[in-house]
Amino acid sequence: MPEKRNPSEKSLHALDYLNLFLADVRDGVGPYLNIYLKGSQHWNPQQIGIVTAVSSIATVIAQTPAGALIDRLSQKRLLIVLAAATVTCGCFAIAFFPNLQVVIGAQVLIGIGAAVFPPAIAAITLGLVGSDKLDRRVGRNETFNHSGNLLAATLAGLAGQFIAPKSIFFLVGLMAVASAFAVARIREKEIDHDLARGDAEERSSEETEPQDKQGGILKLLSDRRILFFATAVVLFHFANAAMLPLVGQRLAIDGKGTGLDGTVYLSACIIVAQLVMIPTANFAGRLAEGGRKGIFLVGFGVLPIRGVLYTLSDNPFFLVSVQILDGIAGGIFGVLSILMVADLTKGSGSFNLTQGMLATSIGIGAGLSNLLAGFVVQKAGYNVGFLMLSAIAAVALAVFWFLVPETKQKQ
């Protein structure tokens, strides 16, 4: 029988605050970089697409090794602190030296740092609460994560309007410091590091060593369920990653006639999405106890609709309202992706390695999305770019619907 985990309230509350403060740090400056480079530095969409893709490419390279490292090391809290510091250094470099060479180098740093956060937080969570309580705990993690994004977007919008557009870069630094204090309050002795890699619950009493990790990699690559799931995830993020940055660029242009800075509108986009993600993530974690696939299909299904809606109007208020669909998809994806990986790797000792491989898939999709969308918009315009992304989203929905099985085991 699996061991029942009973972590202290101090550690669980610290995990709440870690997700809250790390929300903005884990994505660097995200779409704010696009609107800053477009609105304040007057870069063209092709240049913006290149530097956005660089961060994703760096993340792709780093994520699978990061997942394997987290499986092997017990210093998961320290890894989070170091990654947050790396992202902060990259953000400060962009703020002080916004030229192409420096921004590319800073994006590499941000991409490497961002590779650590998802598997490290998932590992600490699993190591604290165990698989029996993982559904609701992941839902709670994502609820605090989206609350942190909401807080950061509100502060960024206010700072961009009343202080300076580059204020967001310094906001990331402040939240990184707060996240370091939060992770330090999680009690190290309460994290079961065998359990944190998905190993301890299923290992027999005679088996004292974890399975060979090279064998684990080969087994993962031969699992059709994981391969189809990764394919669907790549296509989802291929379609999703460039949508908000493209909306940000349009807002930097179309929002000027209203007298408000583009950062305000972009913050409004993020705030609307995060307000929807907060309850969506919470409900997804609760509903996932009865099954994963049906809930996840909703997240996949709203993405192509969202892309088409962006082509119907360039009114800033309409573009902001479409972000409701982003909130539904994002809230579901953040919870269900972790739970499905936990299902697929239970007892393998490769939970974080698989998380890293999944994050690599996400990075591939996001990097290709920003790179291709930048070129398409430069040549054919924003509407063609959004329709292209919608078509890819429809393919992602089909792959997940027909090829990815239900992973929740019946009790």
**Of 8, 23, 10, 14, which is closest to residue 129 (Cα–Cα)?**
8
Query: Which sequence spans correspond to the domains of the chain?
Result: 9-190+212-403
DSSP notation for 123-159: HHHHHHH-GGGHHHHHHHHHHHHHHHHHHHHHHHHHH
pLDDT category at 28 given cuts 50, 70, 90 is low
Q: Which two tokens stand for residue 354?
A: 């698989």
Taking only the tens place, the pLDDT of each residue in 308-346 is: 999 998 888 898 899 999 999 999 998 998 899 888 887
**Range 308-315, long-range pairs (CB < 8 A, 24+ positions):** 308/386, 308/387, 308/390, 310/243, 310/246, 310/247, 310/382, 310/383, 310/386, 311/382, 311/383, 311/386, 311/387, 314/250, 314/254, 315/254
Residue 209's pLDDT is 46
Res. 205 pLDDT band, cuts 50 70 90 = very low
Domain 9-190+212-403 architecture = Up-down Bundle (1.20)
Percent of the chain whose predicted confidence (pLDDT) is above 90: 27
How many C-beta neighbours within 10 Å does residue 352 have? 28
Token match 């800053």: residue? 36
Q: Which pLDDT score, from 0 to 100, does residue 132 have? A: 79
Per residue in 40-50, pLDDT (tens digit) is 777 877 788 78
Average pLDDT for 3-14: 84
Cβ pair 272, 316 in contact under 8 A: no
Instruction: Report the alpha-carbon distance of residue 349 to residue 330 in Å, rounded.
Output: 28
The answer to whether the CB of 71 falls within 8 A of the CB of 352 is yes
The average pLDDT across 26-50 equals: 73
Examine the pLDDT at 180 and tell me if it is beyond 70: yes
Across 379-405, average pLDDT: 94
Contacts of 366 (CB under 8 A, 6+ apart): 56, 59, 237, 238, 240, 241
Lowest mean per-residue pLDDT among 16-25, 215-224, 261-270, 272-281: 215-224
What is the model's pLDDT at position 1? Answer: 42
Lowest mean pLDDT among 135-149, 177-191, 215-229: 215-229
Integer Cα distance of 165 and 335 in angstroms? 32
Maximum distance among all Cα pairs of the chain, rounded to whole angstroms: 71
Residue 77 pLDDT level (bands cut at 50, 70, 90):
very high
Can you read off the two tokens belonging to residue 399? 């792959």
Q: How confident is the model at residue 200 (pLDDT cuts 50, 70, 90)?
A: low
Average predicted confidence (pLDDT) for the chain: 83
Question: 253 Cβ partners below 8 Å, 6+ apart?
Answer: 38, 262
